[in-house]
Amino acid sequence: MSKFEEKTIKTKEIFNGKIIKVSVDDVRLPNGETSIRELVKHQGAVAVIAVTEDKRFIMVEQYRKPLEKALVEVPAGKLEPNEAPEVTAIRELEEETGFTTEHLEYVTSFYTTPGFCDELIYLYYTDKLIPLTEEKALDEDEFLECQSYTMAELDDLIKRERIHDLKTMYAVQYLKLRGFD
């Protein structure tokens, strides 16, 4: 038994969407009392740190509807059911940046919001980029702009909150600890 385990008494399904599923669980607390937990299920995702030969960092800018503004982020995308994360990572890299790679390095994984959602992101790194000869299609409802930046530019984007999501801010710290400046 896991520490402080909360056993499910009943699950009520609220929403079964394309991106998320929502349920409300009645749970038995460690002290025997009951409570409810609001839970979001997500397929998981990948993100790719892509570094060019001249040590520039490739980012994509896209509109984020929940925030009603565009953010600059590391290339990323959702896992398809039963898809290996490395496969998703290569596909998203190709679609979003126009590069591919034969050298994808696994960095780490992390839960983005463990309090209410099970989304797990797998983070990869590559500095061996190969330009694609043909552009790959994005999802039909996906619009983004791809650009590369120096570390000083990334620092400035963070300061101005144009980069403002945790996975990208983690990626920038990771690059600094890896020796990029």
- Residue 139's contacts (CB-CB under 8 Å, 6 or more residues apart) are 95
- Relative to beta strand 20-28, strand 34-42 is antiparallel
Of residues 80, 86, 105, 145, which one binds a second copy by CB under 8 A?
145
Q: What angle do CA 85, 126, 78 make, to 5 degrees?
A: 30
Indicate which single residue of 2, 53, 134, 137 sits in contact with a second copy (rule: CB under 8 A): 2
Which of 155, 181, 139 shows the shortest CA–CA distance to 59? 155
# of chain residues touching a second copy (CB under 8 A): 71
Question: Given candidates 9, 10, 86, 143, which one binds a second copy under the rule CB under 8 A?
Answer: 143
44: left (phi over 0), alpha (psi -120 to 50) or beta: left
26 binding a second copy? (CB under 8 A) = no
Catalytic site residues?
140
CA dihedral 139, 142, 147, 153 (to 10 degrees): -130
Residue list 27-86, contact with a second copy (CB under 8 A): 27, 29-31, 33, 35-42, 45, 61-71, 73, 78
Q: Check binding of 180 to a second copy (CB under 8 A).
A: no
Closest distance of CB 53 from a second copy, Å = 25
Q: Given the complex with a second copy, which of 35 and 103 has the nearer CB atom? A: 35
Structure tokens belonging to residue 84: 């290996």
Q: Which tokens hold the place of 133?
A: 């000869």
Q: Which position among 9, 55, 103, 108 is part of the footprint of a second copy (CB under 8 A)?
A: 108
Contact between 130 and a second copy per CB under 8 A = no
DSSP string over 32-44? S-EEEEEEEEE--
> For a second copy, which residue of 81, 115, 131, 179 counts as binding (CB under 8 A)?
115
- Contact call for residue 138 and a second copy (CB under 8 A): no
Q: Does 109 bind a second copy (CB under 8 A)?
A: yes
Q: Which is nearer to a second copy, 31 or 133 (CB)?
A: 31
Q: Is residue 6 a contact point for a second copy (CB under 8 A)?
A: yes
